[in-house]
Structure 1
Amino acid sequence: MTGLAVIMLGLTGLSVTGVAQTRRSAAAVSKVCALAAAYGRIHDAVITEERSERLYRVEPGSVVRTSHTTAGASLQDALLDVERFGTDTDRRLATELGALHGQYLQAVTDVFDAVDDGDVARIDTGRAQSLFERINRIVQTATVERDAQAARALRHLERVETLAFIATVAGFAVGLVLMTVLLVASVGYQRRLMRHAASSEYLASHDSLTGLPNRALFARRAADALRDAQDRGAGTSVLMLDLDRFKEVNDTLGHHYGDELLRQVAARTSATVRSGDLVARLSGDEFAILLPQAAAHDAARLATRLQSELHRSFVLDDVTVDIEASIGVAAAPEHATTVEAALRCADIAMYSAKDTKTGVAVYDPAMQVEDGSRLLLLGDLRRALDSTDQLTLHYQPKIRLNDGQVSGAEALVRWQHPTRGAIPPAEFIPVAETTGLISRLTLYVLRAALGQVRTWLDDGLTLPVAVNVSPRCLLDAGLVGHVVALLREFDVPASLLRLEVTESAVMANPATATATLTELHELGVRLSIDDYGTGYSSMAYLKRLPVDELKVDRTFVLHMDADHDDAVLVRGAIELGHNLGMTVVAEGVEGIAHVAALQALGCDIAQGYHYARPMPAADLSRWISDQRPATVPVG
């Protein structure tokens, strides 16, 4: 009994010591994991701030600024956790990060203010980018150190558990029943602590909603893949995936549906990629995909296949949702040599895909060259659309060649900038075409033109007006509804509105374009193919389109009196239009020789400086009054 008591006391001491060591080791692991998670939140927050700062230069607004402020607050909370769980070194590091972050916020505020003021000379992103990279470098280094510390603590915990297990087994041979109870209790408790430590490590490296790896784990795996690719002389690619209009799902259906959508997107993405690829959720609706030993063209093909998979409907409980995704592709070492650089390049390509509506884009260095004047022009145009005194319409008359009568007019937008003066349409319309502003601009012109038609009708002048429709608007499912609403609002007959579309706009998506044009034609709206001869129209599509008018591009008309080839092309266009039952309009008529040649070829209508330049509505009214009686036959 004495010997057993001694053994039991000894085993008890060993067990107590082992349990105490295990508890301390587990607590150390949990603390280090919490510290690593805090550094991860700092990293996520500063990345979000940097993305918000870049997005604000393209689309300034309160939403982006609020996102930037929220990220800053998250970073400050994470710094408090670093001070709470960290050592003196961590607390000094937190103080340094806080100071750097304050400088970074001031630099970003200066950029925001310069964008808001429209002062391109003050838009200096260099200081903010330098501070961002310093903060990011410090956080990355600290995260790696804390991960290594957590791994060492876990290994120590495993050694302690092993020693305690051996001591328990040895005591079992002597103490039998008593040691059995002690063994079960000790092993069970230690395993629970091990599971807790492993769970803490898992939570620190995985997304709790989708179960996918988080940014920290993705960065570690990507760094390993880049090193392996360099050793093998092979490439590695990174995809950045972002869901378009995900916020609408949360706002319309609720966050429960948004979370379920993210889980299904994660599952569908993981099922689409290769077995050795890694899918991670970085934040919100943003995912990253690591493709080891994959070149840029292979990654682009996978991205296209993934986009097709995500475009299939998602069933969220009792609701079916369809979404679209934009994917950016970057390859190492072709585009970047570090994980952060690869993610940044893929992010830039993703925003390019979102902006151009292509769905998938491979990074090109030209994407990163931001034109400050273009950014300012977009902001000024957005403000001009909200104003009432900058954008106006000028009208150029269209003249029938058989009797010289006015058959209608084309509405052309003009921009009088408050400080830069008149800005040519050729300068701002192409910029608007690359963004959603072109839809707002088109609706602005439609509203102003139909309002003017109503004014002319009230004055006893019946004058059809033509409005140009961009390719993006033609493919907008809401275009027909907008036209119907505006015709009803101004009580204008549909026959007095003519919509002009280009060949390229029709051929971009013939099926959708034909369906939209058919609906408009059935309303009574007249339709015209603009700039004919400069695109690549298929005769098969052209003859099926419900088009009333064919406009020959000015580049052919200008030299038709001196260039035989141009004259042949104009004659062919006139004959084609007449054979398809269309009225033919010649643009760019600048001299009497043009008029005579067009009359000889049987052209119906002419438009150009020979008759009149585009002019304000009041001037056109006087011009028509000077030409003939006020009642103008409808063309």
Structure 2
Amino acid sequence: MALRPSRVLRTGAVLGLAAVLLGLTGVSVVGTTRTRASANTAIAATTLAEAYELADDAVALEEVAEQRYRLEPGEQALALHRGASGALEVALRDVEARGTAADRDVAAEVRELQVIYLGAMDRLFAAVDRGDTASAADIDDEVVDPAAERIGGLVHGAATVSAQEAAEAMRDLHRIEGVVFTATTATFGVGLALLVVFAFVAGGYQRRLLRHAAEHEYHASHDGLTGLPNRTLFTEHTTDALREAGPDGRGLAVLLLDLDRFKEVNDTLGHQYGDELLRQVAARTTGALRAGDVIARLSGDEFAVLLPGASAADAAGLAARLQSELHRSFALDDVAVDVEVSIGIAVAPEHATDTDALLRCADIAMYTAKDSKTGATLYRPNMHTEDGNRLLLLGDLRRALDVTDQLTLHYQPKIRLDDGRLSGAEALVRWSHPTRGPIPPAEFIPVAETTGLITRLTLYVLRLAVAQARAWLDDGLVVPIAVNLSPRCLLDPDLVGHVTRLLHEHELPADLLRLEVTETAVMANPALATETLTALHRLGVRLSIDDYGTGYSSMAYLKSLPVDELKVDRTFVMHMDDDPEDAVLVRGAIELGHNLGMTVVAEGVEGAAHVTALQELGCDIAQGYHYARPMPPEDLTTWFRTSGATAVLSG
């Protein structure tokens, strides 16, 4: 039976429509797959480029440290160079984790060159130390410079390739859109009868595809939580603003903001509260900006603001407004939360003329503001060289306080000179850095002393020491533990409350905790120091004057302080057997302490001659290498039970 023309037409129309739909389906599948792949490639390439950027920064810091050492040889420049090398290694690991086999090959090649470079640097530093400038120059020309240039070229080249790959992925996305559009348009020629159907189907698909492409592009350049531009888009805006400003035009400013107590919100209330806090911070910051200013969320609790055409004074004014806005309480559901913000400011062209350098300057200024508790700080050029190593060390120390396996306590026993029994132990902090290894307290404590971080470090040590005293007590050993207080902690009005809570939390008798302060710390603010020490003494905590003889003090204040113990500094004790003047000073300190009703402790006792001399002078307690070096608590427990200087048994 022959088919009627209308049926043939309908059949043809159906077949044609089916063909169009199949074609559109194929285009949709291929286009969506390629779009998703292109977007993922762009994100991966951007992340990898950031890792290469960190490596590039580390290489630059190595160069700064090398030049600094050649101008001013010393441990500070050497430590800065070591820190930069460590940072490069961390960045290379990040490249290996995020990159392809080719990137891992680059990282391996950089490591091989770094070995050659570091070996040559050791020889160069040695030549500089000898004053052999000719050899230093030869080493620099023949090995150091070629290796450094090769390392920098590899890192910079790989970063450029990653950026190009991201750009190529976006171009590929647009090419897919074009192909799909062309393929869809071509199907319209099948017939006028199918035009409306085909146009409807193709138009709908085209709109969906373009919307998906726009969404992918948006998500690749915006933060999913706050909806703000991300680091990639902020970098593009800053680069464009620098280009538009030109070398002779009006400059611009960049502000980097970091929330100081954001981690406490996440740890205490949960991440959902932390996310809501970030959204509200983004909203308040946006509301304080001018038209044309750009705000972005870079990562975590770090935000950036771009101020086109702004001066340093304009940026400082905005920073003050932002502090005022963000220091007001945030209502997170049923909880009111207060946070503080640290702001770093950098201005172009005064501080830098390219985007990466400008952001680095603002970042350095922000960490300076955070460490000095100043709220907002304008970048200064000398921060790069003078504070580079200090900022690296402070950043590492801040992160070490957030974990449990880097900062530990060693304990050095204190021995009674009349019967050789244990009088107590002094807690001494030790830092095992994950990449630099052990860092001496003399290196990181003075740096922490110059910032508010010393208070947090001291409370960390107090918490460990009180817990250890409780553990020993549970094990049948009564071991009073001494902890050094920094001048900042002594003047902290919350100190007594912190100590009270720790003793209560661990149910530790207060007389098993001894707090040591220096003369200098007391004399910094005698009235407040006396008030704090009196409150601690009423609590039952034993108190000591540490390093007596090295500072300055008023006899009137010394006799009025509620102090139980006087510790004679090691610099006098170590030479008292061969230096008559030191012996006189030690004798005077012992007599003074006894006349004021204090127990006297001699530090730095390193030989039997010291012990004999101190016993003859009537000293009460000795501490030093003659008896034991500082050791971990488990080793000291064994020492208690095996040495003659046994701990007092409880019960």
Alignment partner, residue 133 of structure 1: 159
Contact 2:480 2:514 in 1 (8 A): yes
Give yes or no for the alignment of 1:394 onto 2:412. yes
Alignment partner, residue 103 of structure 2: 104
* Alignment-mate amino acid for residue 484 of structure 1: H
What displacement does 1:525 show? 1.7
Identity of aligned residues (%): 46
Contact 1:34 1:204 in 2 (8 A): no
What displacement does 1:260 show? 3.2
| Cα distance, 1:350–1:375 mapped onto 2, change above 3 Å | closer
Alignment partner, residue 482 of structure 1: 502
Alignment partner, residue 47 of structure 2: 45
Determine helix, strand or coil for the equivalent of 1:232.
Answer: coil
What displacement does 1:136 show? 5.2
Alignment partner, residue 494 of structure 1: 510
| Cα distance, 1:515–1:135 mapped onto 2, change above 3 Å | farther
What displacement does 1:582 show? 6.4
Residue by residue over 1:8-55, the C-alpha shift from the partner in whole angstroms, topping out at 9 and shown as x without a partner, is: xxxxxxxxxxxxxxxxxxxxxx99x99998787456534665699999
CA distance, structure 1, for counterparts of residue 612 and residue 328 of structure 2 = 55
5 Å-filtered alignment, 1:206-605, equals 210=226, 212-227=228-243, 230-232=246-248, 236-244=252-260, 246=262, 249=265, 253=269, 257-272=273-288, 277-292=293-308, 303=319, 306-307=322-323, 309-347=325-363, 349-350=365-366, 362=379, 364-366=383-385, 385=405, 392-397=410-415, 408-413=423-428, 426=442, 443-449=463-469, 451-452=471-472, 464-469=480-485, 479-488=499-508, 493-502=509-518, 520-531=536-547, 547-551=563-567, 553-555=569-571, 587-588=603-604
| Cα distance, 1:105–1:515 mapped onto 2, change above 3 Å | farther
Contact 2:486 2:517 in 1 (8 A): yes
Contact 1:411 1:467 in 2 (8 A): yes
What displacement does 1:222 show? 2.0
CA distance, structure 2, for counterparts of residue 128 and residue 507 of structure 1 = 56
CA distance, structure 2, for counterparts of residue 302 and residue 569 of structure 1 = 61
* 5+ residue gaps, structure 2: 1-30, 59-82, 112-117, 120-147, 179-206, 631-635
Contact 2:230 2:298 in 1 (8 A): yes
Determine helix, strand or coil for the equivalent of 1:337.
Answer: coil
Determine helix, strand or coil for the equivalent of 2:247.
Answer: helix
Count of matched residue pairs: 497
What displacement does 1:315 show? 1.4
Contact 1:395 1:620 in 2 (8 A): no
What displacement does 1:395 show? 1.0
* 5+ residue gaps, structure 1: 1-29, 73-99, 113-119, 154-191
What displacement does 1:129 show? 4.3
| Cα distance, 1:539–1:269 mapped onto 2, change above 3 Å | farther
- Mean Cα deviation higher: 100-109 or 257-266: 100-109
5 Å-filtered alignment, 1:152-167, equals none
CA distance, structure 1, for counterparts of residue 101 and residue 396 of structure 2 = 27
* Alignment-mate amino acid for residue 412 of structure 2: H
| Cα distance, 1:218–1:464 mapped onto 2, change above 3 Å | closer
Determine helix, strand or coil for the equivalent of 2:278.
Answer: helix
Contact 1:237 1:291 in 2 (8 A): yes
What displacement does 1:467 show? 3.2
* Alignment-mate amino acid for residue 393 of structure 1: Y
| Cα distance, 1:589–1:256 mapped onto 2, change above 3 Å | closer
Determine helix, strand or coil for the equivalent of 2:353.
Answer: coil
What displacement does 1:319 show? 1.4
What displacement does 1:528 show? 2.5
What displacement does 1:314 show? 1.1
Determine helix, strand or coil for the equivalent of 2:258.
Answer: strand
What displacement does 1:557 show? 6.8
Contact 2:257 2:341 in 1 (8 A): yes
What displacement does 1:339 show? 1.0
Contact 1:429 1:438 in 2 (8 A): no
Determine helix, strand or coil for the equivalent of 1:312.
Answer: coil
CA RMSD of aligned residues (A): 6.9
CA distance, structure 2, for counterparts of residue 203 and residue 379 of structure 1 = 30
* Alignment-mate amino acid for residue 501 of structure 2: G
What displacement does 1:338 show? 1.3
| Cα distance, 1:505–1:416 mapped onto 2, change above 3 Å | closer
Contact 2:563 2:598 in 1 (8 A): yes
| Cα distance, 1:323–1:479 mapped onto 2, change above 3 Å | farther
What displacement does 1:288 show? 0.6
**Given the two structures, how large is their TM-score scaled by the length of structure 2?**
0.52
